[in-house]
Chains A and B, each alone.
Chain A
Amino acid sequence: MSVQQNKRRRLAAGLAALALLSLGLGLWQLGGAGWIHAKAWLAQRLLERSWAATLDDGGGGGTSGTAATPQRPWPWADTHPVAQLQVPAYNVDQIVLSGASGRTMAFGPGHLEGTAAPGTQGHSVIGGHRDTHFRFLEALETGDAIRLRRPDGGWADYRVSGTQIVDSRRARLLPDDGRTRLTLVTCYPFDAVTAGGPLRYLVFAVADAGA
Chain B
Amino acid sequence: MFYDSVRQKLSTTPTRGIFPPHIVQQCKNALAMIGVALLAGLVAVTVVALVAPQALGAPATIVAGQGDGTDVSRDVTAGLFFRSGRPDALLEAPTLASEVVMTVSGQVTRVNVRQRFYNPSKVWQEGIYVFPLPEQSAVDRLVMTVGDRRVEGRILERAEARRVFEEAAEKGQHAGLVESERPNVFVTSVANVGPGDEVAIEIQYQDRVAFADGRFSLRFPMVVAPRYSPAAEDLPSVNYRSPPLGQPQPPAAAPSDLPPARPIGGEIQANSPINLVDQRADGGDLFGPVRHPDRGPANPIALAVALNPGGPMAVLESLYHEIAVAQTPDGGQRITLAETSVTADRDFVLEWSLAASETPEAAVFGEGRQGDGYLLIDIFPPNNAAAPETVLPGLTLPRDLIFVIDTSGSMHGPSMEQAKFALRQALERLGPEDRFNIIQFNDDAETVFADIQPVTPEIIARARAVVRRLEADGGTEMLPALRLALSDPAESGRLRQVVFLTDGAVGNEHELFQEIAARLGDIRLFTVGIGAAPNSYFMRKAAEVGRGSFTYIGDVAEVAERMKALFRKLETPVLTDLALDWSGTASGPPELYPSTLPDIYAGEPIQFTARVPDHTLDELAGTLRLRGRVQDGTTWERSLDLGTLASAPGVAAIWARAKFEQVEDGVFRGEDYDAVREAALAVALDYQLVTHLTSLVAVDDAIARPEGAPLEQSEIPRNLPEGWDYEKVFGEPAPVMPLRTLPDPIMRQASALGGQSFALPQGATPAGLMALIGLGLLCLTILLLLVAARLRGAPHQAEVAR
Does B74 sit within 8 A of A, measured CB to CB? yes
Contacting pair A172 B745 (CB below 8 A):
no
A201 to B325, CA, bound (A): 51
A-side interface residues, number (CB < 8 Å): 100
Contacts of A185 in B (CB 8 A): 760-761, 763
Contacting pair B774 A167 (CB below 8 A):
no
Does B77 sit within 8 A of A, measured CB to CB? yes
Contacting pair A129 B410 (CB below 8 A):
no
Contacting pair B778 A38 (CB below 8 A):
no
Does B358 sit within 8 A of A, measured CB to CB? no
Contacts of B474 in A (CB 8 A): 76, 78
Residue among B234, B410, B745 making CB contact with A101, cutoff 8 Å: B410
User: Chain B: which residue is nearest A99 at the CB level?
Assistant: B72
Contacting pair B475 A172 (CB below 8 A):
no
Contacting pair A101 B42 (CB below 8 A):
no
Does B685 sit within 8 A of A, measured CB to CB? no
B-side interface residues, number (CB < 8 Å): 99
Contacting pair B784 A18 (CB below 8 A):
yes
Contacts of B782 in A (CB 8 A): 19
User: Chain A: which residue is nearest B745 at the CB level?
Assistant: A204
**Among listed B274-282, B327-335, B659-667, B696-704, interface-contacting one:** B274-282
Given contacts A186-B764, A196-B762, A161 and B75 within 8 Å (CB-CB) = no
A173 to B780, CA, bound (A): 45
Contacting pair B778 A23 (CB below 8 A):
yes
**Among listed B60-68, B132-140, B173-181, B345-353, interface-contacting one:** B60-68
Contacting pair A42 B50 (CB below 8 A):
yes
Given contacts A22-B780, A103-B69, A167 and B74 within 8 Å (CB-CB) = no
Residue among B761, B767, B772 making CB contact with A105, cutoff 8 Å: B761
Contacts of A15 in B (CB 8 A): 784-785, 787-788, 791
Q: Using an 8 Å CB-CB cutoff, how does the interface string of B532-544 with A read, 1 for contact, 0 for none? A: 0000000000000
Residue among A125, A128, A172, A176 making CB contact with B77, cutoff 8 Å: A172
6 contacts between A and B (CB under 8 A): A26-B781, A76-B60, A78-B409, A112-B72, A162-B745, A170-B257
Contacts of A35 in B (CB 8 A): 42, 46, 66
Q: CB within 8 Å of B: which of A2-17?
A: 4-5, 8-9, 11-13, 15-16
Q: CB within 8 Å of B: which of A99-145?
A: 100-107, 110, 112-115, 123, 125, 127-132, 134
A174 to B233, CA, bound (A): 21
**Residue among B59, B66, B75, B748 with most chain A CB within 10 A:** B66
Does A30 sit within 8 A of B, measured CB to CB? yes
Contacting pair A22 B760 (CB below 8 A):
no
Does B25 sit within 8 A of A, measured CB to CB? no
Does B792 sit within 8 A of A, measured CB to CB? yes
A185 to B766, CA, bound (A): 17
Residue among A37, A38, A41, A134 making CB contact with B763, cutoff 8 Å: A134
Q: Using an 8 Å CB-CB cutoff, how does the interface string of A69-111 with B read, 1 for contact, 0 for none? A: 0000011111000000000000000000000111111110010
Contacting pair B87 A33 (CB below 8 A):
no
Contacts of A23 in B (CB 8 A): 777-778, 781
Residue among B35, B753, B768 making CB contact with A175, cutoff 8 Å: B753
A30 to B6, CA, bound (A): 14
Q: CB within 8 Å of B: which of A178-192?
A: 178-179, 181, 183, 185-187, 190-192
Contacting pair B763 A173 (CB below 8 A):
no
Does B372 sit within 8 A of A, measured CB to CB? no
Contacts of B257 in A (CB 8 A): 170
- Contact residues of A: prevailing secondary structure: mixed
A4 to B233, CA, bound (A): 55
A171 to B792, CA, bound (A): 60
Given contacts A19-B788, A74-B50, A168 and B760 within 8 Å (CB-CB) = yes
A143 to B782, CA, bound (A): 49
Contacts of A193 in B (CB 8 A): 2, 768-769, 772
Contacts of B72 in A (CB 8 A): 100-101, 112-114
Contacting pair B760 A177 (CB below 8 A):
no
Contacts of B475 in A (CB 8 A): 76-78
- Between A and B, how many residue pairs show CB distances below 8 Å? 328
Q: Using an 8 Å CB-CB cutoff, how does the interface string of A28-59 with B read, 1 for contact, 0 for none? A: 11111111111111110010000000000000
Does B775 sit within 8 A of A, measured CB to CB? yes
Does B47 sit within 8 A of A, measured CB to CB? yes
Contacting pair B42 A168 (CB below 8 A):
no
Does A61 sit within 8 A of B, measured CB to CB? no
Q: How far is the CB of B28 from chain A (nearest CB, A)?
A: 15
Does B752 sit within 8 A of A, measured CB to CB? yes
3 closest A-B pairs by beta carbon, nearest first, are: A102-B67, A26-B777, A103-B65
Does B579 sit within 8 A of A, measured CB to CB? no
Q: How far is the CB of B253 from chain A (nearest CB, A)?
A: 11
Does A68 sit within 8 A of B, measured CB to CB? no
Does B639 sit within 8 A of A, measured CB to CB? no
Contacts of B65 in A (CB 8 A): 101-104, 106
Q: How far is the CB of B6 from chain A (nearest CB, A)?
A: 10
On B, residues with C-beta under 8 Å from A are 1-2, 5, 34-35, 38-39, 42-43, 45-47, 50, 53-54, 57, 59-60, 64-72, 74-75, 77, 87, 233-236, 240, 257, 274, 276-278, 280-281, 286, 408-410, 412-413, 443, 473-476, 743-750, 752-753, 756-778, 780-782, 784-785, 787-789, 791-792, 794-795
Contacts of B769 in A (CB 8 A): 193-195
User: Chain B: which residue is nearest A199 at the CB level?
Assistant: B286
Q: How far is the CB of B339 from chain A (nearest CB, A)?
A: 27
Given contacts A39-B46, A170-B257, A170-B277, A16 and B784 within 8 Å (CB-CB) = yes
Residue among B2, B774, B788 making CB contact with A27, cutoff 8 Å: B774
Contacting pair B234 A198 (CB below 8 A):
yes
Residue among A9, A36, A77, A101 making CB contact with B66, cutoff 8 Å: A36
Contacts of B67 in A (CB 8 A): 101-103, 105-106, 129, 195
Does A148 sit within 8 A of B, measured CB to CB? no
Residue among A5, A102, A190 making CB contact with B795, cutoff 8 Å: A5
Contacting pair B791 A129 (CB below 8 A):
no
Q: How far is the CB of A174 from chain B (nearest CB, A)?
A: 4
Contacts of A198 in B (CB 8 A): 234
Given contacts A29-B777, A164-B743, A174 and B757 within 8 Å (CB-CB) = yes
Contacting pair A101 B71 (CB below 8 A):
yes
Does A165 sit within 8 A of B, measured CB to CB? yes
A167 to B240, CA, bound (A): 14
Contacts of A46 in B (CB 8 A): 50
**Residue among A15, A113, A192 with most chain B CB within 10 A:** A15
Contacts of A150 in B (CB 8 A): none
Does A156 sit within 8 A of B, measured CB to CB? no
User: Chain B: which residue is nearest A113 at the CB level?
Assistant: B72
Residue among A20, A78, A114 making CB contact with B476, cutoff 8 Å: A78
Contacting pair A16 B38 (CB below 8 A):
no
Contacting pair B234 A196 (CB below 8 A):
yes
A181 to B476, CA, bound (A): 32
Contacts of B743 in A (CB 8 A): 162, 164, 204
Contacting pair A168 B764 (CB below 8 A):
no
Contacting pair A172 B277 (CB below 8 A):
yes
Q: How far is the CB of A90 from chain B (nearest CB, A)?
A: 15
Does A197 sit within 8 A of B, measured CB to CB? yes
A167 to B65, CA, bound (A): 23
Q: How far is the CB of A177 from chain B (nearest CB, A)?
A: 4
Given contacts A26-B776, A33-B768, A101-B410, A16 and B788 within 8 Å (CB-CB) = yes
User: Apart from A8-B795, A22-B778, what 13 extra A-B contacts exist at CB < 8 Å?
Assistant: A12-B789, A32-B770, A74-B50, A78-B408, A102-B68, A103-B64, A129-B764, A131-B764, A187-B763, A191-B768, A193-B768, A193-B769, A201-B763
A15 to B778, CA, bound (A): 14
User: Chain A: which residue is nearest B789 at the CB level?
Assistant: A12
Contacting pair A178 B784 (CB below 8 A):
no
Contacting pair A195 B775 (CB below 8 A):
no
Contacting pair B409 A125 (CB below 8 A):
no
Q: How far is the CB of A153 from chain B (nearest CB, A)?
A: 26
Contacting pair B792 A8 (CB below 8 A):
yes
Residue among B69, B281, B412, B748 making CB contact with A164, cutoff 8 Å: B281
Contacting pair B792 A195 (CB below 8 A):
no
